[in-house]
Amino acid sequence: MFGTLGPTELLIILAIVVVLFGASRLAGLGGALGRGIREFREETRTADEKKKDGTTVASTTTTPTDEARKDS
């Protein structure tokens, strides 16, 4: 599906996205994505180190709060 898109088409799509959302909003989104990826890598590195040390890794999963259950 995306294999037929060339560089010209991708640039046109990028230009449309910039016009629709604005450059500053896209920059903020990119920064947030970068922070999320960085945090994920740090957590996986920490989990790997704890696994090598033989300590248990605490579960970081959360359960929905009562308000979130009400909304469903």
- How far is CA 59 from its chain centroid? 20
The tens digit of pLDDT for each residue in 17-57 reads: 889 888 888 889 889 999 999 999 999 999 888 888 876 55
pTM of the model: 0.48
Show the domain range for 31.
Answer: 22-52
Domains identified in the chain, total number? 1
In a domain, 14, yes or no: no
**Crossing angle of helices 7-21/23-53, nearest 10°?**
100
Would the pLDDT of 72 be above 80? no
